[in-house]
Structure 1
Amino acid sequence: MGEISSFQLGVIGALFLSVASSVSIVICNKALMSNLGFPFATTLTSWHLMVTYCTLHVAHRLNLFESKPIDTKTVVLFGILNGISIGFLNLSLGFNSVGFYQMTKLAIIPFTVMLETIFLNKQFSSRIRLSLFLLLVGVGIASVTDLQLNLMGTVLSLLAIMTTCVGQILTNTIQKRLSVSSTQLLYQSAPFQAAILFVSGPFLDQCLTNKNVFAYKYSPVVLAFIILSCLISVSVNFSTFLVIGKTSPVTYQVLGHLKTCLVLGFGYTLLHDPFTERNLIGILIAIGGMGLYSYFCTQESKKKQGDLCLGSSQIKDKETAALLAGVHQDKESHEVKKSSKDSVV
């Protein structure tokens, strides 16, 4: 029971850290990009990853965690894939309307469910699927406004969905199959993610904004927000790997939509963004879907634990019965031998 409670506390802590840090960085980046006019999202992400790696490297040097060697090919491909997925998401936002981009993010959950069902033989009950459907409907109502389609944007969105889903599934699979922690995996892969975005970021940002990140005039306020964003990103990146490792890619996406609802709420209260009844209704439906998802996952987890305990108990009972039967048989055999010996005498 102690181990289960400790694990549950770890999951709750990871979820809370992920929500708090993600909402914080969204608000920080929104102020940086919308209010201060710093539009270079991909380049900023590369700085986030570099700061994350440097922070983890210092922590490693201070013996705060142990580095576990992982196959170089696996780490490189994993890091590059995650870097590419970030690039595709940014390109999707640049070539699509905000509404279609939100639909792209919503499509990640069903696509992840499909991939895990096909390739990992993971089963999702009808109750889980229903709760996910309610969640997606709610977030869609709250956040999707316009849907403007174009060929390039659609292709980029599909690539963003595929790379993001595969990357998140691998984040979970690598941690479990190679028995590495979220910190160890992030420490190993962050340099490769940062490298690909550091190289491609300025080019992508130039294509999307027609501005050069190196020609931008950095005021002290902008620099302060960039530093703050990079510091928060350490927690964001760490909690992302932690949540996916402790739960699942689908749960992480559900958590991501909770962040969307919170960002909408904070945007209204702190940044005075427009907020309508449609937003409110959508958020309430989404929260209902999240609540059902959490409840059903908890119930199914308890059922699995009960089945495991019952199975182990039955195995133990069978072993005990077999042992007793063996002892009884030996005793009978001994008595038969003794009887035979007495009759001979």
Structure 2
Amino acid sequence: MSSFQLGVVGALFLSVASSVSIVICNKALMSNMGFPFATTLTSWHLMVTFCTLHVAQRLNFFEAKSIDIKTVTLFGILNGISIGLLNLSLGFNSVGFYQMTKLAIIPFTVLLETLFLKKQFSQRIKFSLFLLLVGVGIASVTDLQLNFIGTILSLLAIVTTCVSQILTNTIQKKLNVSSTQLLYHSAPFQAAVLFVSGPLVDQFLTKQNVFSHKYSRMVLAFIVLSCLIAVSVNFSTFLVIGKTSPVTYQVLGHLKTCLVLAFGYTLLHDPFTERNIIGIMIAILGMGLYSHFCTQENKKKQQVDLSLASQAKEKDGSPHLTHEDKESLEAKKLGKGSLV
């Protein structure tokens, strides 16, 4: 259990560090250097991730386990579609409404897991998630401009993102594959979807063509850096969801949002108000409570499992009389009776 807990902590730390790093890198690339092609950049991220994992597999860092090709294909396509829909949602909606879309992923994931996977969430867990969502909402949501197409895209993005994250956890456990193996097999299909749709989506949103963009040395350097960091981001995403749950990954995502706001203020001198500070404090309180309640419930579950295992062991260790033993006992009784 101690090694498992160390693995979880390491996965969480890697996810936070890499995600915050890539957000700062991409913000500099898109805001300061004028490279706005987010969907196409994501396809490059996934292709570099696959190439890196392929080299690692060739060097025997992990074993490539065979997975049903239909499952991997559908899973990879669904992941690619969810990324494209999130980017389209950001393009059609205001930043505030996009943040609300990301906030809605947690309650919708809880709803799907409760309905289809029969997973139970205690009232304490739900309260901590509610505090977290309120805090992130206060800190990050500014304006809420609604439009029909943007709302439809946001709903589709929520559904596909929730389902893909639940499938990430379910496939790893049911097929007994590691996060590295699943990412290695699914990354090409995700990249293929975004390779085809990325330039079209980016041109529609930015009115610019990614192939006719002027690439300076600085832009190329930041693109390479972004792709290298993305390997860690993609790997840690699958690792965290596999070791914990989709809800925990979403909670971690909102921690990243708070950290990005804080780093944006300190490093990039973004505007920061009392509302941001209050929202971040409430969100951190919600995250702390969620972590505390999850730890308590996991300990109780472990104690129950241990007690059940010990009871089963005691039952297995108790002597059971075979048919031959019964016959020998009866013979002894008869022998004693004849002596009397």
TM-score interval w.r.t. the shorter chain? over 0.9
Name 1:265's counterpart in structure 2.
262
Name 1:229's counterpart in structure 2.
226
Q: Which runs of 4+ in 1 moved over 3 A?
A: 318-335
Aligned CA RMSD, in angstroms, stands at 1.7
Distance 1:139 1:324 in 2: 64
Distance 1:12 1:47 in 2: 28
**1:327 to 1:27, Cα distance in 2 relative to 1, 3 A:** farther
Give how far 1:305 is off: 0.5
Distance 2:125 2:322 in 1: 45
The alignment of Structure 1 onto Structure 2 pairs a total of residues equal to: 340
**1:143 to 1:328, Cα distance in 2 relative to 1, 3 A:** farther
Q: Deviations over 1:102-157 (max 9, x none)?
A: 00000000000000011101100111001000000000000000000000000000
Q: Given the alignment, which residue of 216, 219, 225 partners 1:219?
A: 216
1:317 and 2:314 matched: yes
Structure 1 unaligned regions, length at least 5: none
What SS class does the counterpart of residue 104 from structure 2 fall into? helix
Give how far 1:329 is off: 7.3
Distance 1:331 1:269 in 2: 85
Name 1:205's counterpart in structure 2.
202
Distance 1:133 1:89 in 2: 23
Give how far 1:326 is off: 10
Give how far 1:334 is off: 5.6
1:152 and 2:149 matched: yes
**1:220 to 1:111, Cα distance in 2 relative to 1, 3 A:** same
1:101-116 aligned within 5 A? 101-116=98-113
What amino acid is aligned across from residue 334 of structure 2 in structure 1?
A: K
Name 1:167's counterpart in structure 2.
164
What amino acid is aligned across from residue 160 of structure 1 in structure 2?
A: A
Give how far 1:339 is off: 1.1
Name 2:248's counterpart in structure 1.
251
Give how far 1:211 is off: 0.5
Distance 1:338 1:305 in 2: 52
Name 1:39's counterpart in structure 2.
36
Name 1:241's counterpart in structure 2.
238
**1:313 to 1:202, Cα distance in 2 relative to 1, 3 A:** same
1:1-345 aligned within 5 A? 4-321=1-318, 323=320, 333=330, 335-343=332-340
Distance 2:298 2:27 in 1: 38
Q: Deviations over 1:12-40 (max 9, x none)?
A: 00000000000000000000001111000
Q: Deviations over 1:301-335 (max 9, x none)?
A: 01001001111222223344454999997886464
**1:272 to 1:120, Cα distance in 2 relative to 1, 3 A:** same
Distance 1:284 1:204 in 2: 36
Structure 2 unaligned regions, length at least 5: none
**1:342 to 1:292, Cα distance in 2 relative to 1, 3 A:** same
Distance 2:46 2:332 in 1: 76
What SS class does the counterpart of residue 142 from structure 2 fall into? coil
What amino acid is aligned across from residue 18 of structure 2 in structure 1?
A: S
**1:158 to 1:118, Cα distance in 2 relative to 1, 3 A:** same
Distance 1:288 1:335 in 2: 72
Give how far 1:286 is off: 0.4
**1:326 to 1:99, Cα distance in 2 relative to 1, 3 A:** farther
TM-score normalized by structure 1? 0.95
**1:341 to 1:161, Cα distance in 2 relative to 1, 3 A:** same
**1:132 to 1:330, Cα distance in 2 relative to 1, 3 A:** farther
What SS class does the counterpart of residue 212 from structure 2 fall into? coil
